[in-house]
Amino acid sequence: MNNITIEVKDNLYYLGVNDRETPRFENLWPLDYGVAYNAYIIIDEKVALLDTVKITKIEGFKSNYEEILGDRKLDYLILHHIEPDHGGAIADIIEKYPDIQLVGNKQTKKLLKVMYGIENVNFLEVKEGDELCLGKRTLKFFTTPMCHWPESMVSYEPNEKILFSQDIFGSFGALDGSIFDDEMDYSRVRSDMRRYFSNIIGKQAQQAKMALEKLENLEIDMICPVHGIIWRTHTRKVIEEYTKWANFQVEPGVVLVYGSMYGTTEAVADKLARFLVEAGVKTVKVFDASKTHASYIINQIWKYNGLIIGSCTYNVHLLPVIKNLVSILEHYKIKNHFLGYFSTYGWASQANNELKAFAEASGFDYIDQKIDINGMATEEHEKQLRELAKSMADKVNG
Ligand code: FEO
């Protein structure tokens, strides 16, 4: 929170800042409720700042660390992850504390130069398992490459069992007065957190799985990420949930997403949604891809095991919003899903060919049924849609 510092534990301070101005994270993913850039300070025999914030938020951050530090100087700046939402104040900190030692790994050093032109600084390179003693507290480092960038690493404080987890366990959403998981509604956080995971780290789910396996033998009582709330009560629960997402463990249900210009494809989607329910699917979530940003659709796809995509043909291709979604799904290499598809057209059929090509390349278990509707759906089409609904219901309900 801007201009608010909170003692998380004795001599461990939170000094994150809220950002409710940036419309989209990475200029891609909507931030309806903003986002928080978290940083921490440990005051011990040595004083360490753990991460910084986005450059647009330096002023609030600065007043926070000045309030905590008073006349004390920083000895270390621990760089768990230096994407600009966390690395924006690094140069500022070096300027203010020229004797500070930056702590990162080999990749951090490379990226500091590439991203910020920072080189020839006092840099302590740490490797897997290295420890840094601050006095009563010690930080042990574990590399977590590609969660989210190559230099990403976490640190663990063994005495109090605290994991400083950088983007892992992070969440969208500014912190509205609450910084701990027991101070806010867990269900809202859960969805924001899965959206952060699926949108930002999802492409690297395999690396996230490996990182979690690496950390699974640690006793963790508290998780301090660089976005979102600090976990101190639901810690075990959040680790379990996160592990599910990284392993593509999905629930029975169908996400039905369509792209429709004038309502014909939408009408087909609505019929199909009803047929799915009649076939026994308990949860059906229907989205108009022209209205709902792909960010939210991907979040739901990460939750449920069934996916049906419908598109009209537009300029002899998929409707661009569906094309966009399909290309994100191809890029993210999502696993453990059942796929069905349908298409509509006026005078030139093409969307179906592109959806079939996607289905074949996707690695999903797909229902190989061609439903390509010329104009309005006929009784024969409805029969086909019922067959698709039945096949999908059988698959998702196992
Ligand atoms: Fe929160 Fe990958 O930056």
Calpha distance 244→238 (Å, rounded): 10
Whether the per-residue pLDDT at 379 is higher than 80: the answer is yes
Nearest CA to ligand 1 atom 2: 148
Calpha distance 107→151 (Å, rounded): 5
Angle (deg, nearest 10), helices 351-362 and 320-332: 10
Check pocket membership of 54 for ligand 1, CB cut-off 6 A. no
Check pocket membership of 381 for ligand 1, CB cut-off 6 A. no
Average per-residue pLDDT for the chain: 96
Dump pLDDT digits (tens) for 321-330: 999 999 999 9
The fraction of the chain above a pLDDT of 90, given in percent, is: 96
Token pair for 340? 């069905």
Q: What is the pLDDT of residue 184?
A: 87
Q: How far is the CA of 201 from the centre of ligand 1 (A)?
A: 9
Dump pLDDT digits (tens) for 301-337: 999 999 999 999 999 999 999 999 999 999 998 989 9
Nearest CA to ligand 1 atom 1: 167
Whether the per-residue pLDDT at 60 is higher than 90: the answer is yes
Q: Residue 38's closest CA among 69, 10, 65?
A: 65
Check pocket membership of 227 for ligand 1, CB cut-off 6 A. yes
Q: How far is the CA of 197 from the centre of ligand 1 (A)?
A: 11
Calpha distance 228→39 (Å, rounded): 11
3-class secondary structure per residue, the chain: CCCCCEEEECCEEECCEEECCCCEECCCEECCCCEEECCEEEECCCEEEECCCCHHHHHHHHHHHHHHHCCCCCCEEECCCCCHHHHCCHHHHHHHCCCCEEEECHHHHHHHHHHHCCCCCCEEECCCCCEEECCCCEEEEEECCCCCCCCCEEEEECCCCEEEEECCCCCCECCCCCCEHHHCCHHHHHHHHHHHHHHHHHHHHHHHHHHHHHHCCCCCCEEEECCCCEECCCHHHHHHHHHHHHCCCCEEEEEEEEECCCCHHHHHHHHHHHHHHHCCCCCEEEEECCCCCHHHHHHHHCCEEEEEEEEEEECCEECHHHHHHHHHHHHHCCCCCEEEEEEEECCCCCHHHHHHHHHHHHCCEECCCCCEEECCCCHHHHHHHHHHHHHHHHHHCC
Ligand 1 atom at shortest distance from the alpha carbon of 152: 2
Q: What is the pLDDT of residue 189?
A: 86
What mean pLDDT is predicted for residues 63-90?
96
Can you give the pTM of this predicted structure? 0.95
Give residue 4's pLDDT band: very low, low, confident or very high (50, 70, 90). confident
Dump pLDDT digits (tens) for 345-363: 999 999 999 999 999 999 9
Check pocket membership of 80 for ligand 1, CB cut-off 6 A. no
Q: Residue 290's closest CA among 332, 255, 316, 325?
A: 325
Nearest CA to ligand 1 atom 3: 83
Q: How far is the CA of 147 from the centre of ligand 1 (A)?
A: 9
Give residue 2's pLDDT band: very low, low, confident or very high (50, 70, 90). low
Whether the per-residue pLDDT at 33 is higher than 60: the answer is yes
Q: What is the pLDDT of residue 1?
A: 56
Decide: 222 and 160 in contact? Cβ < 8 Å. Answer: yes
Question: Among positive and negative, which fits the CA dihedral 187, 189, 190, 191?
Answer: positive
Q: How far is the CA of 85 from the centre of ligand 1 (A)?
A: 6
Dump pLDDT digits (tens) for 254-280: 999 999 999 999 999 999 999 999 999
Check pocket membership of 51 for ligand 1, CB cut-off 6 A. no
Q: What is the pLDDT of residue 186?
A: 80
Q: How far is the CA of 303 from the centre of ligand 1 (A)?
A: 22
Dump pLDDT digits (tens) for 210-243: 999 999 999 999 999 999 999 999 999 999 999 9
Which residue shows structure tokens 């005078």? 347
Q: What is the pLDDT of residue 185?
A: 83
Calpha distance 374→391 (Å, rounded): 23
Dump pLDDT digits (tens) for 106-165: 999 999 999 999 999 999 999 999 999 999 999 999 999 999 999 999 999 999 999 999
Check pocket membership of 181 for ligand 1, CB cut-off 6 A. no
Check pocket membership of 137 for ligand 1, CB cut-off 6 A. no
Token pair for 267? 């009408």
The fraction of the chain above a pLDDT of 70, given in percent, is: 99
